[in-house]
A and B are shown apart, each in its own frame.
Chain A
């Protein structure tokens, strides 16, 4: 049972890297894409930990609701951060 633990470890490390890049990014549309990437990695971690019901609730939130809300806010403000 080493393989699932290894998958969770790699996905967690990649999500930490993407979270740091999301914080320091100046272009907010790229930050939205990074957030979607983090959501995919979290989906994988939930699935490896056998929480399929949490995955069912998290896929629409991470791939639809969060990007569309952030892009709506982005349209009403500026794309580049000073």
Chain B
């Protein structure tokens, strides 16, 4: 019978492997948009990762920053795409 801690440890290792794969995509990406999407995907990945850490440690009060990352993970996409498209970001 597996406990939830063993399942969470295996899942956390899988997420760490995906973090290294995102780093490789950021380094290798042929265009600049691949790199931006890799950083954005890492942000969305980090949201789930935070939920796993909350389940692993058992401290449920630290789960609030997940909402903030889910809100603001796309901001870098907006800035970089506006800069590449229009050469300014409309400040």
Contacts and interface: CB of A to CB of B under 8 A. Distances in A.
Interface of A: 3-4, 6-7, 10-11, 14, 17-18, 21, 29-30, 32-34, 36-37, 40, 43-44, 47-48, 50, 52, 55-56, 59-60, 63-64, 67-68, 71-72, 74-75
A56 B65 contact: yes
Interface residues of B, number: 40
Nearest to B12: A3
Interface of B: 9, 12-13, 16, 19-20, 23, 26-27, 32, 35-36, 39, 42-43, 46, 49-50, 53, 56-57, 59, 61-62, 64-65, 68-69, 72-73, 75-76, 79-80, 83-84, 87-89, 91
